[in-house]
């Protein structure tokens, strides 16, 4: 029940225009005659990312939400750059993530469009990047328009390191996510104790040109989800530390739409998820699940 990972739609930069739509220039007069100096386009502080994903199963931190029917998960993320100097950057993040499910999973509403609207998450946060290191603090409110579950609230801390320069083609792109449940209800069920969740992951990969001007990126995401405190509880209140281990392959191909209407990318992937004792119980006793996804991403 969260915004999966994540990349932005940037508002177009402000470009000074001259006659007939040509880039404006500044004229200076010297002894040798006129010199034209091009004006640099202004960089927009806003970026926006849209995602339109379909998946064969929806798990949240290893907890099964739905694995049958049509599952459509649109999302948006607005990033506002409020400070950037040398190697230091500060961004404000606002977003919304949704899951529409044809099975009307757990819906308590009836005769309404919201029957299919299983989840809608609101998030806001602050991200700091210093050279190769990044940290983001995000507050997430996970709601269910169909009243399938009680509202869950989390404070998420995400840490990342850009090791591309150091390792080149062997870069691992490591990250860590630490989530603290702050509301009265947890992701493992209503009335459970607030839990603390830890996720560790990497995303090695490579890219190649499938054709002229058609780069293809392949990544191999690997992640493990753990309960540091009361995140995976059973009915008796016992906590299971290991939640899941997931690995997969994902391909990304830019679509030839040009940049006037944003940069569009086609994503597709297959992932294998292996569950712990408690999370397998949420999945009907099955300790493994194959998940396929396909989607479009647009950045402005």
pLDDT tens-digit readout, 19-46: 333 333 333 334 444 445 555 667 889 9
pLDDT computed for residue 185 by the predictor? 84
Delineate the domains of the chain, giving CATH numbers in brackets: 42-299 (2.40.160.40)
Provide the b/e sequence for 189-198 (b: ≥16 CB within 10 Å). Answer: eeebebbebb
d(CA 243, CA 186): 15
Summarize the confidence of residues 212-226 as an average pLDDT.
Answer: 94
Q: 211: pLDDT confidence band, cut at 50, 70 and 90? A: confident
Per-residue pLDDT of 260-269, as tens digits, reads 889 999 999 9
Summarize the confidence of residues 216-226 as an average pLDDT.
Answer: 98
pLDDT computed for residue 40 by the predictor? 61
Q: In the predicted model, is pLDDT for residue 4 greater than 90?
A: no
Closest by CA position to 245, among listed 266, 217, 224, 272: 224
Structure tokens at 84: 């950037």
Per-residue pLDDT of 164-173, as tens digits, reads 999 999 999 9
d(CA 106, CA 110): 11
What's the residue count for the chain?
Answer: 300
pLDDT computed for residue 26 by the predictor? 35
Share of the chain above pLDDT 90, in %: 73
pLDDT computed for residue 8 by the predictor? 32
More confident residue, 256 or 95: 95
- Run of H or E residues at 252: strand 242-254
- Run of H or E residues at 280: helix 277-282
- In DSSP terms, 252 is beta-bridged to 217, 267
Per-residue pLDDT of 89-134, as tens digits, reads 999 999 999 999 999 999 999 878 999 999 999 999 999 999 999 9
pLDDT computed for residue 7 by the predictor? 32
pLDDT computed for residue 63 by the predictor? 96
Q: Supply angle C-alpha 46, 221, 265, rounded to 5.
A: 45
């Amino acid at each position: 029940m969260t915004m999966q990972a994540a990349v932005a739609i940037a508002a177009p930069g402000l470009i000074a225009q001259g006659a007939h739509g040509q880039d404006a220039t500044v004229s200076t007069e010297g002894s040798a005659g006129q010199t034209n100096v091009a004006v640099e386009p202004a960089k927009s502080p806003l970026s926006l990312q849209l995602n339109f994903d379909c998946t064969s199963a929806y798990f949240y931190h290893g907890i099964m939400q739905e694995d049958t029917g049509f599952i459509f998960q649109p999302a948006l993320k607005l990033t506002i750059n409020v400070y950037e100097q040398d190697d230091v950057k500060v961004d404000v993040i606002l977003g919304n993530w949704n899951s529409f499910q044809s099975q009307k999973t757990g819906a308590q509403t009836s005769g309404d469009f919201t029957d299919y609207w299983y989840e809608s998450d609101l998030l806001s946060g602050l991200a700091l990047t210093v050279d190769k290191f990044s940290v983001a603090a995000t507050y997430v409110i996970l709601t269910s328009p169909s009243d399938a579950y009680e509202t869950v609230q989390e404070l998420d801390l995400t840490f990342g390191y850009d090791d591309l320069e150091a390792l080149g083609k062997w870069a691992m792109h490591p990250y860590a996510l630490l989530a603290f449940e702050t509301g009265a209800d947890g992701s493992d069920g209503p009335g459970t104790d607030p839990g603390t969740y830890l996720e560790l992951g990497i995303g090695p990969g490579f890219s190649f040109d499938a054709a002229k001007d058609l780069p293809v990126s392949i990544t191999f995401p690997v992640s493990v989800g753990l309960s540091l405190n009361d995140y995976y509880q059973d009915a008796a209140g016992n906590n299971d530390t290991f939640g899941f281990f997931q690995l997969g392959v994902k391909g990304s191909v830019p679509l030839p739409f040009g940049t006037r209407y944003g940069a569009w990318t086609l994503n597709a992937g297959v992932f294998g998820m292996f569950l712990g004792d408690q999370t397998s119980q949420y999945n009907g006793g099955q300790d493994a699940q194959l998940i396929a996804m396909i989607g479009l991403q647009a950045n402005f």
